[in-house]
A and B are shown apart, each in its own frame.
Chain A
Amino acid sequence: MDVQDLYKEIIVDHNRSPRNFRRIDAPTHQAEGFNPLCGDKLHLYLTIDGDTISDIAFEGSGCAISVASASMMTDALRGKSVDEAQQLFERMRALFTDQGEQGDLDALGKLAALGGVRQYPSRIKCANLSWHALHAALTADAAATASTE
Chain B
Amino acid sequence: MSVAADRLEGAPALDIDAVRAQFPALHQQVNGKDLVYLDTAASAQRAQCVIDAVSHYDSHDHANVHRGVHALSQRATDAFEGARRSVAQFINAGSESEIVFTRGTTEAINLVAQSYGRSTLKAGDEVLITWMEHHSNIVPWQMVCEQTGATLKVARIDERGQIDMEHFRSLLNERTRVVGVVHISNALGTINPVAQIARLAHEVGAVVVVDGAQATPHMAVDVQALDCDFYALSGHKMYGPTGIGALYGKRALLDAMPPWQGGGDMILAVDFERTLYNEVPYKFEAGTPNISGAIGLAAACDFVRQLGHEAIARHEADLLEYAMTRLAAPDLTVIGTAQHKSGLVSFTLDGIHPHDIGTIVDGEGVAIRTGHHCAMPVMTFFNLPATARASFGVYTRREDIDRLADALDQVREVLG
Residues of A whose CB lies within 8 Å of any CB of B are 1-4, 6-7, 12, 15, 37-41, 61-65, 120, 122-123, 126
Contact assessment for B355 and A126 in the assembled complex, using a CB-CB cutoff below 8 Å: yes
| Cα(A37)–Cα(B363), bound, Å | 20
Known A-B contacts A2-B363, A12-B415; A64 and B371 likewise in contact (beta carbons under 8 Å): no
Contact assessment for B363 and A64 in the assembled complex, using a CB-CB cutoff below 8 Å: no
Interface range on chain B (Cβ under 8 Å from partner): 10 to 19
Contact assessment for B360 and A3 in the assembled complex, using a CB-CB cutoff below 8 Å: yes
Contact assessment for A38 and B359 in the assembled complex, using a CB-CB cutoff below 8 Å: no
Interchain residue pairs with CB less than 8 A apart (23): A1-B31, A1-B363, A3-B363, A7-B360, A7-B414, A12-B414, A12-B415, A37-B371, A38-B353, A38-B355, A39-B385, A39-B386, A40-B385, A61-B353, A62-B353, A63-B353, A63-B354, A63-B355, A63-B356, A65-B356, A123-B355, A123-B359, A126-B355
Q: Does B307 contact A (CB under 8 A)?
A: no
| Cα(A122)–Cα(B354), bound, Å | 13
Distance between A51 CB and nearest chain B CB, rounded to angstroms: 36
Contact with A along B351-389 (1 / 0, CB 8 A): 011111001100100000011100000010000011000
Contact assessment for A4 and B414 in the assembled complex, using a CB-CB cutoff below 8 Å: yes
Contact assessment for A15 and B363 in the assembled complex, using a CB-CB cutoff below 8 Å: no
| Cα(A122)–Cα(B31), bound, Å | 16
Contact assessment for B385 and A64 in the assembled complex, using a CB-CB cutoff below 8 Å: no
| Cα(A84)–Cα(B370), bound, Å | 36
Known A-B contacts A6-B359, A65-B356, A126-B355; A38 and B386 likewise in contact (beta carbons under 8 Å): yes
Contact assessment for B31 and A64 in the assembled complex, using a CB-CB cutoff below 8 Å: no
| Cα(A4)–Cα(B359), bound, Å | 11
| Cα(A95)–Cα(B224), bound, Å | 58
Contacts of B370 in A (CB 8 A): 38
Contacts of A126 in B (CB 8 A): 355
Kindly identify which residue among A12, A37, A120 contacts B359, using a CB–CB cutoff of 8 Å: A120
Contacts of B356 in A (CB 8 A): 7, 63-65
Distance between B260 CB and nearest chain A CB, rounded to angstroms: 29
Contacts of B372 in A (CB 8 A): 39
Contacts of A123 in B (CB 8 A): 355, 359
| Cα(A41)–Cα(B355), bound, Å | 14
Q: Which residue in chain A gives the minimum CB-CB distance to B351? A: A16
Contacts of B385 in A (CB 8 A): 38-41, 61-62
Contact assessment for A15 and B415 in the assembled complex, using a CB-CB cutoff below 8 Å: yes
Contacts of A3 in B (CB 8 A): 359-360, 363, 410, 414
Q: Which of A1, A4, A37, A38 has the most CB of B within 10 A?
A: A38
Kindly identify which residue among B359, B379, B414 contacts A39, using a CB–CB cutoff of 8 Å: B379
Contact assessment for A38 and B363 in the assembled complex, using a CB-CB cutoff below 8 Å: no
| Cα(A12)–Cα(B353), bound, Å | 12
| Cα(A123)–Cα(B363), bound, Å | 14
Distance between A20 CB and nearest chain B CB, rounded to angstroms: 19
Known A-B contacts A1-B363, A123-B359; A64 and B415 likewise in contact (beta carbons under 8 Å): yes
| Cα(A129)–Cα(B372), bound, Å | 18
Q: Which residue in chain A gives the minimum CB-CB distance to B357? A: A63
What 3 A-B pairs come out closest when comparing CB atoms? A39-B385, A63-B353, A63-B355
Q: Which residue in chain B gives the minimum CB-CB distance to A3? A: B363
Q: Which residue in chain A gives the minimum CB-CB distance to B376? A: A39
| Cα(A3)–Cα(B31), bound, Å | 10
Distance between B354 CB and nearest chain A CB, rounded to angstroms: 8
Contacts of B353 in A (CB 8 A): 38, 40, 61-64
Contact with A along B389-416 (1 / 0, CB 8 A): 0000000000000000000001000110
Contacts of A38 in B (CB 8 A): 353, 355, 370-371, 385-386
Known: A38-B370, A38-B385, A123-B359. 8 other contacts (CB 8 A): A3-B410, A12-B415, A39-B371, A39-B372, A39-B386, A62-B353, A64-B352, A120-B359
| Cα(A7)–Cα(B353), bound, Å | 13
| Cα(A29)–Cα(B370), bound, Å | 33
| Cα(A15)–Cα(B352), bound, Å | 10
Contacts of B363 in A (CB 8 A): 1-3
Contacts of B355 in A (CB 8 A): 38, 63, 65, 123, 126
Q: Which of B213-230 contact A (CB under 8 A)?
A: none
Q: Which residue in chain B gives the minimum CB-CB distance to A5? A: B363
| Cα(A37)–Cα(B369), bound, Å | 12
Contacts of B386 in A (CB 8 A): 38-39
| Cα(A6)–Cα(B414), bound, Å | 10
Q: Which residue in chain B gives the minimum CB-CB distance to A64? A: B356
Contacts of A6 in B (CB 8 A): 359
Q: Which residue in chain B gives the minimum CB-CB distance to A120? A: B359
